[in-house]
Amino acid sequence: MWEPLSASLRARYPSLAGRHVVISGGASGIGAALAMAFAAQQARVTVLDIDDSAASALGERLPDLRYRHCDLTDIDSLRAALRALEREAPIDVLISNAADDRRQAFFEIEPADWDRSQAINLRAHFFAAQAAAHGMRERGRGTIINLGSVAWMRGNPAMSGYTTAKAGIHGLTRTLARELGPHGIRVNSLVPGAVVTDKQQRLWRTPEQDAEFLALQALGFRLLPDDIAAMAMFLAADDSRGCTAQAFVVDAGLTVH
């Protein structure tokens, strides 16, 4: 298995220095890797999450981290949080990363289960973008990155709500890119493959699962959150100024059929 790329080998993006990057679900997993990566670029990083304990632990590693407790399914609270952050420092980059990929058998899904899945995995992305885009529009620039997933392309079983929402991220991203492009705002989706996170380690990862994914991938190593953060930094930086309305897949060549 490959080791994480050394920090000394990471690309530097001068345009990210001093920019305010807001990351939903940023206290753990991919979100925490995003926070650490952008902090290393001297960006001003704010995390939205409901996991106060994980945010506190991340804050010990990133003393300048800003954290705001926010239930993203409560749109009024989400809007209020983003308005407050905008007043503190204009939001330059919004990364909608928060997600809930819980497994649930098809015949067991109830309307409340379905609605909750859409609320966290799709609805929050739209309303976060809407709230953050007000300030971006006034300044004539900004970047929005929506986290998708290859799960919908693979048709993963027992994840109907999640895969439906993640498929919706692609349509949402393309529409927002057209709506907001005239205001200098770029919108892209970042699509991770099978990434090894603490949650995956705790709930599902096994040697058999590792072997399965390695057999399906073109590259013979398990993806780590840092691999996703590397693409996110490029998409947030001015280096990608010509990129919008696109889905950038980071999946080590995972077979989706």
The pLDDT tens digits for 69-104 are 999 999 999 999 999 999 999 999 999 999 999 999
If DSSP codes are grouped into helix, strand and coil, which group holds residue 116?
Answer: helix
CA dihedral 245, 251, 255, 256 (to 10 degrees): -50
Residue 171's pLDDT is what?
97
CA angle 133, 134, 139 (to 5 degrees): 90
Give the H/E segment covering residue 40: helix 29-40
Residue 22 lies in a domain: yes
How many residues appear in the chain? 257
Residue written as tokens 């079983």?
157
The single-letter code of the amino acid at 137 is: R
Q: Does residue 103 belong to any structural domain of this protein? A: yes
Is 10 within a domain? no
Q: Are 192 and 149 in contact (CB under 8 A)?
A: yes
Q: Is residue 135 part of a domain?
A: yes
Whether residue 218 lies inside any domain: the answer is yes
**Annotation says 162 is catalytic:** yes
CATH of the domain at 243: 3.40.50.720
Counting as low any pLDDT under 70, the low residues of the chain are: 1-8, 204, 257
The pLDDT assigned to 1 comes to: 43
Predicted local distance difference test score (pLDDT) of residue 204: 67
Tell me which residue of 72, 69, 66 sits closest to 89, measured CA to CA. 66
Domain range spanning residue 123? 17-249
Query: Does residue 254 form part of some domain?
Result: no
- Report the pLDDT value the prediction gives residue 198, as an integer from 0 to 100: 84
* pTM of this structure: 0.95
Helix or strand holding residue 46 (H, E): strand 44-49
* 69 is a domain residue: yes
Out of 38, 67, 152, 162, the active site residue is 162
pLDDT score at 8: 67
> Per the structure, how many domains does the chain have?
1
Give me the torsion for CA of 175, 180, 181, 182, rounded to 10°: 130
The reply to whether 56 falls in a domain is yes
